[in-house]
């Protein structure tokens, strides 16, 4: 965080300043801000966030031991550290982030890019950050820091030297993206796709559309909307952008896109695509597995070139990226038994894309094995969407379908109903039972996809399989 007096923070947040040690209201705070006491560094600010299972106020002492000089709290504590007492520390965190970014922006050259979409946010964020970090100091989220806590924590890492802030915005409910993006008013808003992820919480796909379009509305007037030309719902956000005086930059596979992929070839070593960037031909050899990641690369290219990065330079930097993020299409195992651990998140769209990738990268004499768990946050759509995955796995001729957990059982039942009944499809109640089966079932030449939502916990099964067959 940029140096800020305690009194300024307290006044900004409408909080009560409790001064401890040798501090005064004029004492400057400039350390990193975090809600995890284990990550606090000397000079840091600890946000004592109440949680569902524990309370951050219990860990203020730990934060002080690690060097915290300020705690944002909802009640005054006896710990020997200066405190600002506020009614809601999460709301205070957002307000502090907004203030810091505004002050940096006021006297610097900070450009802000916001990214949202039902799938691909984290990958696109990482790809764009890789491009921009060569141009100047770039701040981007760790992992999937895209909610009411993670997004402000990322914003608070900007300094007077920061040239680019790349923010990822997730949507837990309608209005969430508007609140998060409204903290910083991005110069560029990137919308990747509108799919079924979180549709259960939003009440359907149209509600998801309105939630994702909040980023375009929150992008500054006269800014830029980077939109997926191939997704009709994203394309329908163009009028919103035009009403705000924003230019629109399209990416996709169709002729409308200024940043466009032509021929795409998928292999076990990555994806090769012939591109047109503003009419100029380029070739991209992406080491990240999966044809669907080409669209994420196009979105990153569209934003980066709009910021003045030469297309050839941006493409060369994209080609250095080996994996999008841990547990996202992460190759593990060995050439003998290749494990693809993609179990950090799952939606109907990403599940379908991962299964298609598995089929595409498996050569003659090799066997496709899909290890599948539940997709979360689908609400009333859960049954039919899990059925669709089972059906797709059969239609793609996946040779072994291993379904894990009662929430995912319908995938297995649908696969059986579609003809995968002679041992091709199996079901296990938990990951340990599945691991015991796979230890003896997997053989040389197998290409194994492990895919589920984070809540299913299969990413750890993927790690175990990767170690077992390394």
Return binding residues for ATP.
Answer: 117-123
Query: Could you give the CA distance from residue 332 to residue 124 in angstroms, rounded to a whole number?
Result: 22
Query: Could you give the CA distance from residue 74 to residue 405 in angstroms, rounded to a whole number?
Result: 39
Annotated binding site: 117-123
The contacts found for 28-32 with CB under 8 angstroms, 24 or more apart, are 28/3, 28/4, 29/1, 29/3, 29/4, 29/5, 29/69, 29/70, 30/1, 30/2, 30/3, 30/4, 31/1, 31/67, 31/68, 31/69, 32/1, 32/156, 32/157
The residue whose two tokens read 């080609």 is 319
Query: Could you give the CA distance from residue 103 to residue 12 in angstroms, rounded to a whole number?
Result: 13
Q: What is the 3-state secondary structure (H, E, C) of 127-195?
A: HHHHHHCCCCCEECCCCCCCCCCHHHHHHCCCCCCCCEEEEECCCCCCCHHHHHHHCCCCCEEEECCCC
């Amino acid at each position: 965080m940029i140096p800020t007096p305690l009194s300024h923070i307290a006044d900004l947040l409408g909080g009560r300043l409790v001064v401890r040690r040798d501090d005064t209201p004029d004492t400057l705070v400039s350390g990193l801000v975090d809600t995890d006491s284990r990550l606090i560094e000397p000079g840091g600010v600890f946000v004592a966030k109440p949680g569902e299972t524990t309370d951050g106020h219990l860990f203020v002492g730990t934060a002080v031991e690690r060097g915290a000089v300020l705690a944002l709290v909802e009640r005054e504590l006896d710990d020997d550290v200066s405190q600002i007492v506020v009614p809601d520390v999460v709301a205070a965190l957002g307000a502090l982030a907004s203030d810091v970014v505004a002050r940096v922006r006021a006297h610097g050259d900070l450009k802000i890019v916001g990214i949202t979409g039902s799938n691909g946010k984290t990958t696109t964020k990482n790809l764009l950050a890789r491009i921009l970090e060569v141009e100047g100091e770039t701040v981007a989220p760790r992992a999937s820091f895209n909610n009411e806590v993670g997004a402000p924590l990322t914003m608070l890492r900007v300094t007077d030297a920061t040239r680019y802030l790349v923010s990822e915005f997730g949507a837990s409910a309608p209005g969430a993206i508007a609140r998060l993006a409204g903290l910083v008013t991005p110069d560029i808003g990137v919308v990747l796709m509108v799919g079924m992820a979180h549709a259960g919480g939003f009440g359907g796909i149209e509600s998801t559309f309105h939630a994702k379009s909040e980023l375009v509305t929150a992008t500054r007037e006269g800014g830029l909307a980077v939109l997926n030309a191939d997704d009709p719902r994203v394309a329908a956000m163009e009028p919103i952008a035009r009403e705000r005086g924003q230019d629109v930059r399209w990416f996709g596979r169709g002729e409308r896109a200024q940043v466009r992929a032509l021929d795409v070839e998928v292999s076990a070593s990555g994806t090769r695509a012939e591109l047109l960037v503003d009419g100029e031909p380029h070739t991209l050899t992406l080491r990240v597995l999966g044809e669907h990641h080409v669209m994420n690369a196009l979105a990153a290219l569209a934003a980066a070139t709009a910021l003045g990065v030469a297309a050839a330079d941006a493409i060369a930097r994209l080609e250095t990226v080996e994996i999008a993020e841990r547990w996202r299409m992460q190759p593990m195992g060995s050439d003998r038994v290749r494990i693809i651990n993609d179990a950090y998140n799952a939606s109907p769209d990403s599940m379908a894309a991962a299964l298609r990738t598995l089929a595409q990268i498996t050569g003659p004499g090799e066997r496709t094995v899909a290890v599948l768990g539940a997709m979360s946050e689908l609400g009333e759509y859960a049954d039919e969407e899990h059925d669709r995955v089972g059906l797709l796995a059969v239609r793609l001729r996946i040779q072994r379908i291993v379904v894990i957990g009662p929430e995912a059982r319908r995938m297995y039942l649908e696969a059986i109903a579609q003809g995968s009944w002679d041992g091709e499809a199996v079901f296990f109640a938990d990951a340990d039972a599945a691991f015991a089966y796979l230890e003896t079932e997997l053989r040389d030449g197998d290409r194994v996809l492990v895919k589920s939502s984070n809540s299913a916990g299969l990413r750890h099964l993927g790690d175990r399989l990767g170690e077992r067959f390394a």
